Amino acid sequence: MHSQNGLAKILVVDDVPENVRLMEAVLVPRGYQVVSATNGREALDVVEAENPDLILLDVMMPEMDGYAVCTHLREHEETAVLPVIMVTSSIGQEKTRAIEAGADDFIPKPFNHDELLTRVKSLLRIKRYHDTIKELNRTLEQRVESQVEELERLKQLQRFLSPQLADAILSSGDESVLRSHRRQVTVLFCDLRGYTNFADSVEPEELMGVLSEFHAAIGQLVERYEATVGSLQGDGVELFFNDPIEIPDAPLRAVKLSCSLREEMAMLLERWRKRGYELDFGVGIALGYATCGEIGFEGRSDYAAIGSVTNLAARLSDEATGGQILVAQRLFAEVEDHVEIEPVGEFTLKGFPRPVPAFNVLSVRA
């Protein structure tokens, strides 16, 4: 804490009032602010209350001498580098003890005024360097803390967003998109066929290995096609497109992701069959409006798209046979110029009053 005129505050500690006044007579005309203490214990109280920039510390004082005061200051982080000049009556043994106690400098009595001012000025310059470094460290700590918080936010966001979308939200600094809102989305459900029987017949380690490979295949495609992960539940995966970041070709991206997944799954299924696992997969895709946003509670939340479009995609996925990609009629209308599709008739789906037409995606046109 500097004095109001911007120059340093110096604490003079001496049990002889005349010595204190002598120091003041030398320092005050040079613009230094002087505070004083008459013994060691008082000195420590003044240090805490006044936060001086430098201490001129007499050695010989009753109760608590200068060595004990200096040792105490060096043991505490906030005063470990506070400059201390010890005022000694001799330059022999007292000098050695002053250095051992942690003094930065010493000056013998009677002191030379110019020498005192030179040493004070030198140590105050070092103190300013320490203060600057301390401030830089504090600023750095704040920046690191801020970056750690940002990484935590990124980890939270990446649980349900592709890395590109998480980065976009972080760079904008705006998480308002996570609040509840309505938007037209394309929803894709995919799950494994034969999973229940498989899960009942293999060891947990084998089960986890299969799920890990399945999720890894989907994870690569989520990033490539900028999908949002709605839920990841065992053998079932929900993705949606056009939220929280809007994209122009959401229906086609969903279909392209599905076709890419079918290619990936062909290799996976072959590998699994060699191990004796009878598994397949199916996909359902629908287009419609949903209520989107973050749902959950403190410490555990997901990003979800809720509405009949989500139910429709899930029901179509249930109806898909091995390798089929079933799309609803509304989505088919958006992509028909870009894909080869075959009608597969109408399905009576739970939660839907009328039969629902569906189409199987054969391929995406070049």
**How confident is the model over 196-205, as pLDDT tens digits?**
899 999 999 9
Q: What pLDDT score was predicted for residue 311?
A: 95
Alpha-helical regions (H) of the chain: 17-27, 40-50, 66-74, 93-101, 113-158, 163-172, 195-201, 204-225, 250-274, 308-319, 329-335
Percent of the chain predicted with pLDDT > 90:
61
Alpha-carbon torsion angle 170, 306, 287, 354, nearest 10: 180
- The string of DSSP codes covering 274-298 is HTT---EEEEEEEEEEEEEEEEEET
Residues of the chain with pLDDT under 50: 1, 3-5
Domains of the chain: 9-136 (3.40.50.2300), 161-364 (3.30.70.1230)
Q: What pLDDT score was predicted for residue 303?
A: 76
What are the Cα distances from residue 354, in Å, to 132, 326, 349, 350, 351? 74, 17, 8, 10, 9
pTM: 0.58
